[in-house]
Structure 1
Amino acid sequence: MAISNIGVGSGLPLDQLLADLRKNSEAPLTVIQNKQTVANARLSAYGVLKSSVEAVQKAAEALGKASTYGAVKVASNSTDTLTVTGSDKAIAGQYNVEITELAKAQSLVALGREDRTSNIGNGGVITFTLEDGTTAKLDLSGKDTSLDAIVAAINADPSLGVNATLINDGSDSPHRLMLTASTTGTDASITSISVDGNADLENLLGYDAADPSAHTLEQKTEALNAKLTINGIEITSQTNTVTDAVEGLTLTLNKKTSTDPVLVSATRDPSVATKAVTDFVNAYNNMNTNIRQLTSYNADDGQASVLTGDSVSRNIQSQMRSILDFSLPGTAVGTLAGLGITTNPASGALTVDNTKLEAALKANPSEVIAFFAGEDGLSARLKKTTESILNTEQGIISTAQSGAKRQVDDLKTQLASAEARIDSQMEVYRKQFLALDKIVTQMNATSNYLTQQLEMLSANATKKN
């Protein structure tokens, strides 16, 4: 509310007086604003706690996966010839691979035509039959039957199992339709093509693998299966990507072997497990650091942190620390310390001895898996605890956040109400000051008038004397 220009007529400092009154009236607002700052800080701090626990939960999930401990590292000593990838089902071992044949896709080529845009007969239904018994039809009834249109129609329908393109051989009838099986291997090869309702198109595209000389469509590339041996065992594959020969390994064949076989190795890869453990330790330490910072108290200057004395933080810290005391009786591993993971008694932070951890993974892999990923292992216990803490309806963090949010909203309402009361009171003062200013201004004008009249009377009396 504007307060300037009050008191100009009267000469009284009413605008300053009104500003001072507002300043004194707004002093109690500082108390509410300070409470708002604290409440918002608590709400933010609970958000930090929640994120920290979620990070621990996510890291614990990785610890609970059996694949984390069964990971293998795969390699090929001749990647130009063969590449290999592995899944979590791969088993450590070495394999000598000889490749005697690569899989190829069949290709058929039609006789050349002078024009690629003119129709070849009218309509017709083309039927494609593949070696695996698959049959598919392409209906061209009422449609363009030129070479360009046929290529577009075939390529637009992947269910046919055939791809089409045009080859220009430079002759007087240069445009030749080439059909290629969509995938490699004999099962995907074309055994017959027939056209119903269009004799001209039948003459161009008709094909029967059992009697190829009966038609003009010519096979240029024979469909072949990949052939290889793995440690002397003969393997046949429809494609050059062999996925089911060795469990957990995918072999991609690039070319035939010449003299020596390709050596494919699969060795245990402890780095996946050590990374999972390290990620968990880092997530736990981050949570522990956040709790310590949010609840710390400086005895020297009496300065408290935003969650000093907060029961929610202490509860989370207590629950997490109790889980770390978990032990697996009757095993060489036993505890976290047996795996090289120790706790700093002063700070509560965890430290990992990777050498000791990798030794345990090598010497007692089944016990390590049981400790971390067992039905009642560390991961399962952490999952149960973190789910309880993070429960959106009854979890301690959610409950604390709801309380802090209500306090923030209440303080916002209090502040708005207090500001409204002050504005209302200031408006009353402003109107009173305006009235006062008007009265004093009028009194000053009357005073000035009377003074002027008296001065005139005094002057007239002096002249008469």
Structure 2
Amino acid sequence: MGISVGGIVSGIDTDDMITKLVAAARMPQNVMKTQLSDTESLKTAYETLSAKMDDLTTAIEAIDTADEMRSTTSTSSDDSFVGITATGAAVAGRYTVEVTALASEATSISDAVADSTTLGTVAEGTFSVTYAGTTTTLTLDSTNSSLEGLCDEINDNVAGVTAYIMDTGDATTPYRLVITGDDTGAANTLTLDTSGLTGVGSVPTFTEMSAPQDAALTVNGIAITSADNDVDGVVTGMTFNLNDITTEPIVIKVADDTATTVANVKAFVDAYNTVRSYVNAHRAWDSDAGIKGEFVGEATIISMMQGFQTVLSAEYKTGASYTGLSSIGISTQQDGTLELDEDVLTAALEDAPDEVTNLFETDAGGLGDKFKAILDLYNNEDKSSVSVVAGKNVVTLGGILTDRMAAIDDQISDMNDSIDAFDLRMDAYEARLKKTFTAMEIALGKLQDAQSQLTALLPSTDSDSSS
């Protein structure tokens, strides 16, 4: 850096002069830093908006199917016998259920032995397991010819079957091998063939403890069988959970839950209003007050909100009476936010629930489809990319907001590089100024020294010497 003499000869405060010159030269960088700060604020605004749009996506997806849009409540007169799970597709009504048999799985157990781990205690050879019509043949040899070895072979190789060693606590022969099917239902039979175990050792004998069977029940007097104790598909939107054989009819009641549906629609309205209000706040501009929101002039934001508004105000061919948001009590306010009249929506749901459902349902050609398309177009988390396929460039489009944020990231990176480069130029400029002023001070010092020497050589002009 060199030595600065700081105006010691000239009397000029060169350090202060250098500081001011460098500060003046840095003025363009100050503008750059302000632009960087504004760009970073814009990035933060986009990131926050994207998160709010994620919440909006969650809200619309909570009402975009018939099951979700049409909520129901369901009760059982005694769920220790029969429980009930109902979706929005269930038809409201009263159902009686009687259970005469529960579905069960096949289980077999071996005779008891004194030792479960010693090799050679089970005869070597082949052991076959046939489960649900599929046969698997296992081989026992000197490495696994024990009850535990057979158990491991079954668990490792036979799909749909579980085996385990049971310790009964008997004083002499406590160990038994239990083999059970994983699935209930009469079709899931279990057959064990020990005829291939011909080597030295004992051949286990198996006893069937329970045979596989289907559940048997009646729903409103109609006989039904099921391989599972959770019986679905018998009545649309309903699953009967069979827990015990009944001694009297169990009454299942299903009712429409309009209040929950209204709450879910309100959650969508609130989520949209959160996005809209955030955009409004960050598009505010008042030159007199010095207010300029981050989204002022952002064409991406303008086009996205126009797209939302178009979808929200449109009419759809999804019903006869309820074809748009205004018909179900949702109106657009002056600031672009939505307002929900819950009484109007409740009346629409009670009058024509299918039409209201179709308005929001995916693949029904209504608002739900169009609204989610805009969300995906703008807030898809993937960035656009270009790949080469068969020698041709193929463009894969990502989310518009995602691409905009990526572009902003690139701007921020470039700005930081420019600011860093400017710092280097200012450091060099400051070093040159110090070198220049130091040289000046040294030159002035030499001149003063020469002047002193010349003065000493001149004859004296003292008035006393002439008298």
2:434 aligned with 1:430: yes
Give, as a single letter, the amino acid of the residue that structure 2 aligns with 1:286. Answer: T
8 Å contact from structure 2 (residues 194, 203) kept in 1: no
2:245 aligned with 1:256: yes
1:159 positional shift: 1.9
Give 1:182's aligned residue: 182
Matches within 5 A, 1:237-316: 237-258=226-247, 260-271=248-259, 273-298=261-286, 301-308=289-296, 310-316=298-304
Q: 1:371 aligns with which of 352, 355, 359?
A: 359
Segment drifting more, 333-342 vs 48-57? 48-57
Give, as a single letter, the amino acid of the residue that structure 2 aligns with 1:35. Answer: Q
Structure 1 CA distance, aligned partners of 2:439 and 2:235? Answer: 99
Segment drifting more, 168-177 vs 399-408? 399-408
8 Å contact from structure 2 (residues 66, 89) kept in 1: no
Q: How many residues align?
A: 443
1:226 positional shift: 2.7
Structure 2 CA distance, aligned partners of 1:228 and 1:394? Answer: 52
Q: SS of the residue aligned with 2:116?
A: coil
8 Å contact from structure 1 (residues 105, 221) kept in 2: yes
Indicate how the Cα distance of structure 1 residues 2 and 67 shifts in structure 2: closer, same or farther if over 3 A, else same.
farther
Give 1:342's aligned residue: 331
Structure 1 CA distance, aligned partners of 2:408 and 2:117? Answer: 75
Structure 2 CA distance, aligned partners of 1:380 and 1:427? Answer: 65
Give, as a single letter, the amino acid of the residue that structure 2 aligns with 1:25. Answer: A
8 Å contact from structure 1 (residues 100, 227) kept in 2: yes
Indicate how the Cα distance of structure 1 residues 182 and 366 shifts in structure 2: closer, same or farther if over 3 A, else same.
closer
Give 1:212's aligned residue: none
Structure 1 CA distance, aligned partners of 2:23 and 2:225? Answer: 91
1:52 positional shift: 4.8
Give, as a single letter, the amino acid of the residue that structure 2 aligns with 1:234. Answer: A
8 Å contact from structure 2 (residues 117, 147) kept in 1: yes
**What is the CA deviation profile of residues 283-328 of structure 1, one whole-angstrom value per residue up to 9, with x for unaligned ones?**
2212221221112134763533333355544443333323332235
Question: Tell me, which stretches of 5 or more residues in structure 1 are unaligned?
Answer: 206-216
Segment drifting more, 187-196 vs 402-411? 402-411
Identity %: 25
2:213 aligned with 1:227: no
Q: SS of the residue aligned with 1:156?
A: helix
Give 1:129's aligned residue: 130
Give 1:359's aligned residue: 347
Matches within 5 A, 1:26-65: 26-52=26-52, 55-56=55-56, 59-65=59-65
8 Å contact from structure 2 (residues 108, 207) kept in 1: yes
1:363 positional shift: 0.7
Give, as a single letter, the amino acid of the residue that structure 1 aligns with 2:153. Answer: A
Segment drifting more, 349-358 vs 269-278? 269-278
1:277 positional shift: 2.0
1:380 positional shift: 2.7
8 Å contact from structure 1 (residues 371, 377) kept in 2: yes
- Higher RCO (C-alpha 8 Å, min separation 6): 1
Structure 1 CA distance, aligned partners of 2:81 and 2:195? Answer: 42
Structure 1 CA distance, aligned partners of 2:426 and 2:231? Answer: 81
Give, as a single letter, the amino acid of the residue that structure 1 aligns with 2:366. Answer: G
Greater share of residues in helix = 1
**What is the CA deviation profile of residues 39-84 of structure 1, one whole-angstrom value per residue up to 9, with x for unaligned ones?**
3333444444555556545544554433333443333221222222
Give 2:74's aligned residue: 74
Segment drifting more, 231-240 vs 395-404? 395-404
**What is the CA deviation profile of residues 187-215 of structure 1, one whole-angstrom value per residue up to 9, with x for unaligned ones?**
3343442241425667323xxxxxxxxxx
Q: SS of the residue aligned with 2:320?
A: coil
1:436 positional shift: 2.6
1:264 positional shift: 2.0
Structure 2 CA distance, aligned partners of 1:394 and 1:78? Answer: 52
1:361 positional shift: 1.0
Question: Tell me, which stretches of 5 or more residues in structure 2 are unaligned?
Answer: 385-396
Matches within 5 A, 1:66-215: 66-87=66-87, 89-118=89-118, 119-130=120-131, 132-159=132-159, 161-198=161-198, 203-205=203-205
Q: SS of the residue aligned with 2:314?
A: coil
Q: SS of the residue aligned with 1:40?
A: helix
8 Å contact from structure 1 (residues 123, 143) kept in 2: no
8 Å contact from structure 2 (residues 4, 438) kept in 1: no
Indicate how the Cα distance of structure 1 residues 154 and 4 shifts in structure 2: closer, same or farther if over 3 A, else same.
farther
TM-score normalised by the chain length of structure 2:
0.79
Structure 1 CA distance, aligned partners of 2:261 and 2:128? Answer: 54
Segment drifting more, 132-141 vs 330-339? 330-339
Superposition RMSD on alpha carbons, in Å? 3.8
1:139 positional shift: 1.5
